[in-house]
Structure 1
Amino acid sequence: MAKKHLYFNEAERLYVTENMTIAEIASRLNLGEKTIRLWKEEGDWEKKRLQYLKEKQSFAEELFVFARKLANSIINDWERGEKVDTGRLYALARIIPLVMKAKDFESTLESAKEKNINTEEIIKQAISSALGEVDEL
């Protein structure tokens, strides 16, 4: 019971948001895989992970729509001969790489689904790449 009190929330976070496997979590927290599996079932982590990924995907879609609207407004101002605010140009320049990373992530995920590949590792790598993080082991 003491282990659960100490490690349950961290194990859940690692599974849901960090997309770690049960084996990786067990190794990192020095717990048995069976314990992590029981906690996963008890806490409905799989459902939480899917919800987290949906939210991430929704954010990517919203970011794409925002970038498109911003680009269109800049183009419209240029075509009318109006001065384009440098802040909007800077914002667009910063958003485009994020949109490209999100698009690459979606393409990788779709490709993996078509090939029936375990997407867990691909998702983990894509999120780490998009956020510019380095895995700590």
Structure 2
Amino acid sequence: MAKAAIYFEEAQRLYVQEGLSLDAISQVLGGKVSRRTLYNWKIQGDWDEKRRSYLKQTEDIQSQLTRLAQIAMKEALANPTPHNIYAVMKAISALKMWQGVKVIEEEAEKTEKSTEALKEIIRAIASEEIR
């Protein structure tokens, strides 16, 4: 079986999605594919354009998630219902997951405590605005 059939897709993924250099990819693949071969694949497969497109798509999704979290926060501040507070927490969790932050059980426990603290803060802000 040819090198391309075995390593091309993985090398392309490492370059486009993981952002590795050709030298790093060669090392990750255990030196089984030379830098020169990787360079040729990069040119033939237009990996630079694919990387730019992937990064643009990633930025767009992240900015949309950030905007969603901001909207949810404004809504929760204006109308601090349990539903709105929950929406804030879900939006923030989605943003964290997208950014590659792994939420472990310990963090989930902190989030529950943070949710209660956030509810108290929102209640305090709401009562101040009513006065």
Q: TM-score range by the shorter chain?
A: 0.5 to 0.7
- Supply the distance in 2 between the matched residues of 1:132 and 1:72 (Cα, whole angstroms): 24
- Supply the distance in 2 between the matched residues of 1:73 and 1:92 (Cα, whole angstroms): 9
Give the equivalent residue in structure 1 for 2:79: 77
When the two structures are aligned, how many residues end up with a matched partner?
99
If asked which structure has higher relative contact order (CA below 8 Å, sep 6+), I would say: 1
Post-superposition Cα deviations, 1:82-115, rounded to whole Å, max 9, x if no partner, equal xx024x423423544775x7xxxxxxxxxxxxxx
Residue aligned with 2:79, SS: helix
- Supply the distance in 2 between the matched residues of 1:70 and 1:91 (Cα, whole angstroms): 6
Give the equivalent residue in structure 2 for 1:10: 10
Q: Could you tell me the TM-score, scaled by structure 1's length?
A: 0.63
Give the equivalent residue in structure 1 for 2:105: none
**One-letter code aligned to 1:85:** P
Please list every run of 5 or more consecutive structure 1 residues that lacks an aligned counterpart in the other structure.
79-83, 102-126
User: Is the 2:17–2:51 Cα contact (8 Å) retained in structure 1?
Assistant: yes
Runs of 4+, deviation exceeding 4 Å: none
Highest Rg: 1 or 2? 2
Give the equivalent residue in structure 1 for 2:49: 47
- Supply the distance in 2 between the matched residues of 1:37 and 1:62 (Cα, whole angstroms): 34
Identity rate, percent = 31
Give the equivalent residue in structure 2 for 1:89: 85
Post-superposition Cα deviations, 1:45-82, rounded to whole Å, max 9, x if no partner, equal 0000011111111111101111111112212214xxxx
Question: Where in structure 2 are the equivalents of 1:49-64 lying within 5 Å?
Answer: 49-64=51-66
